[in-house]
Amino acid sequence: MTATALYGRELAAAIRAETTERAAALTASGRPPKLAVVVATADESSAWYVRSIAKAAGQSGIACDIVDLGPDAAADTIVAALDRLSADGSVHGVMLQTPLPGGAALEELAGAIAFGKDVDGANPLSLGRLAAGLPAHPPATAEAVVALLDHYGVELAGRRVAVVGRSTVVGKPLAHLLLDRNATVTVCHSRTVDLPGVTSTADVVVAAAGRPGLITADHVRPGATVIDVGTNPTPDGGLTGDVDAEAVVHRAAALTPVPGGVGPVTTALLLRHTVRAAADR
């Protein structure tokens, strides 16, 4: 058996086509959509990601301001920038890029992003509303996992899904999105005992731990679907996921590549959220 590759490009292209159309309509009506990305790091893979967002935004007709506060920015400075952008009527989406200086937590500072502009679901209010089943922008990465499963017709209702990783930006919001879809959800993490024993009972395994090669063939039931959210930098400047793809590809029925799986969908959804936020104003 060789797993089907679940590429994200087709779905991303469809989302971006719709988003480009909506962006053009907004611009024509005098409300050109704009995303602001606040950066306070010199991290290279972070810079690569932000450039890819700006490029994709440009291709969709969405302005993208990168507000670079430098890697030594104080928490107060970051919050002040978020406050200013939240109050700026020409800005429709605000995103705070990680990592943050001095080990500041995203969830601490992101409360300063106005709820309506919180297009990457980083404000704890967005997470709480998502958990409560109320309208909110989910974090784009978490939503991309579900969108990709839907695109490839992977059933979720009544299925067992193991989410490996309990971050505030992926694992936790994803658990809520999957519960909304009637999956039975297990959240695993670094302190889980016998991880293969837990994940190998799942129909769908989502790896979102940020540890290269964590998920091996032993972790996967034959025929399961495996979604790799990992984006770990490699020494040669590339990206590798959390899944040992060479081993898992012979066991899973379907597997997302890294890069080219969840990532393109994430960026497309972030831009969709931005035009929605602009339209809702």
The region of 12-20, 140-148, 171-179, 218-226 touching a copy of itself under the rule CB under 8 A is 171-179
Residue 31's Cβ-count burial label (10 Å; 0-12, 13-18, 19+) is middle
Residue 132 near a copy of itself by CB under 8 A: yes
259 upstream amide cis, omega within 30 of 0: yes
First to last CA, the chain: 50
User: What part of residues 176-195 is at the interface with a copy of itself (CB under 8 A)?
Assistant: 176, 179, 182, 184-189, 191-193
CB of 107 to a copy of itself, least distance (A): 4
User: What part of residues 220-259 is at the interface with a copy of itself (CB under 8 A)?
Assistant: none
Residue 135 near a copy of itself by CB under 8 A: no
Choose, by CB under 8 A, the member of 43, 83, 107, 218 that binds a copy of itself: 107
With beta carbons less than 8 A apart as the criterion, state whether 261 and 242 touch: no
Residue 71 near a copy of itself by CB under 8 A: no
Query: What Cα–Cα distance (Å) separates residue 82 from each residue in 85, 91, 115, 139, 272?
Result: 5, 11, 11, 17, 21
- Report the alpha-carbon distance of residue 240 to residue 232 in Å, rounded: 5
Residue 79 near a copy of itself by CB under 8 A: no
With beta carbons less than 8 A apart as the criterion, state whether 95 and 38 touch: yes
Choose, by CB under 8 A, the member of 38, 81, 127, 214 that binds a copy of itself: 127
CB of 156 to a copy of itself, least distance (A): 10
With beta carbons less than 8 A apart as the criterion, state whether 252 and 225 touch: yes
Buried b (16+ CB within 10 A) or exposed e, 136-151: bbbbbbbbbbbbbbeb
Using the minimum distance from each CB to a copy of itself, give the nearer residue, 13 or 134: 134
Using the minimum distance from each CB to a copy of itself, give the nearer residue, 186 or 266: 186
Using the minimum distance from each CB to a copy of itself, give the nearer residue, 97 or 186: 186
With beta carbons less than 8 A apart as the criterion, state whether 90 and 281 touch: no
Number of residues engaging a copy of itself in binding (CB under 8 A) = 37
Cβ neighbour number for residue 76 with a 10 Å cutoff: 9
Residue 216 near a copy of itself by CB under 8 A: no
The region of 10-18, 47-55, 117-125, 210-218 touching a copy of itself under the rule CB under 8 A is 117-125
Using the minimum distance from each CB to a copy of itself, give the nearer residue, 28 or 132: 132
Contacts of 172 (CB under 8 A, 6+ apart): 127, 166, 187
Binding site residue list for NADP(+): 165-167, 231
Angle of helix 262-280 versus helix 140-151 axis, rounded to 10 = 110
Residue 151 near a copy of itself by CB under 8 A: no
Residue 98 near a copy of itself by CB under 8 A: no
Using the minimum distance from each CB to a copy of itself, give the nearer residue, 57 or 185: 185
Q: List residues near a copy of itself by CB under 8 A.
A: 105, 107-108, 123-134, 157-160, 166, 168, 172, 175-176, 179, 182, 184-189, 191-193, 198, 201
